Amino acid sequence: MMLLSGDRESEVLYLADQVGIREALEGRSPEDKVEIVRRGTEAGPTMFLGDGVNDAPVMQAATVAIAFGNNSDITVEAADAVILDPSLRKVDELIHLGQRMRRIALESAVGGWR
């Protein structure tokens, strides 16, 4: 898990510490973020959370993209999911809900073949 941000170092390191993220990259341009996420996606599935219009290109590079809030129509369009309440707790709920829905869909598909 990595915190990747265009914000200042002090803000990024504070947030990383608060949520227990060990790897944090601050002061990154939108182009930097796209390249970092593309490299990550080549190695395996990635998820990107963003809230700004400059996050749309990064969202396109990620396997899964989640927009916080509806601050930007461009970001909302680029995202796979939108969380209106910008809370990491809601991201956790979304991930667990997605896992449950996937399990139900797989059980239904297997049950339908019998």
**Is residue 93 one of the residues assigned to a domain?**
no
Q: How confident is the model at residue 14 (pLDDT cuts 50, 70, 90)?
A: very high
Q: Structure tokens of 82?
A: 């939108």
**Is residue 103 one of the residues assigned to a domain?**
no
- In this model, does residue 113 exceed pLDDT 60? no
Query: Are the beta carbons of 59 and 48 closer than 8 angstroms?
Result: yes
DSSP state letters, 5-38 = -SS-HHHHHHHHHHHT-SEEE-S--HHHHHHHHH
**Is residue 114 one of the residues assigned to a domain?**
no
By three-state DSSP, how is residue 66 classified? strand
**Is residue 72 one of the residues assigned to a domain?**
yes
Query: Are the beta carbons of 80 and 66 closer than 8 angstroms?
Result: yes
**Is residue 101 one of the residues assigned to a domain?**
no
| Residue range 95-102: mean pLDDT, rounded | 90
For 34-88, what is each residue's pLDDT tens digit? 999 999 999 999 999 988 888 999 999 999 999 987 777 888 889 999 998 878 8
Q: How confident is the model at residue 107 (pLDDT cuts 50, 70, 90)?
A: confident
**Is residue 49 one of the residues assigned to a domain?**
yes
**Is residue 38 one of the residues assigned to a domain?**
yes
**Is residue 82 one of the residues assigned to a domain?**
yes
Q: How many domains does the chain have?
A: 1
Q: What's the CATH code of the domain at 37?
A: 3.40.50.1000
Question: Domain residues for 31?
Answer: 2-86
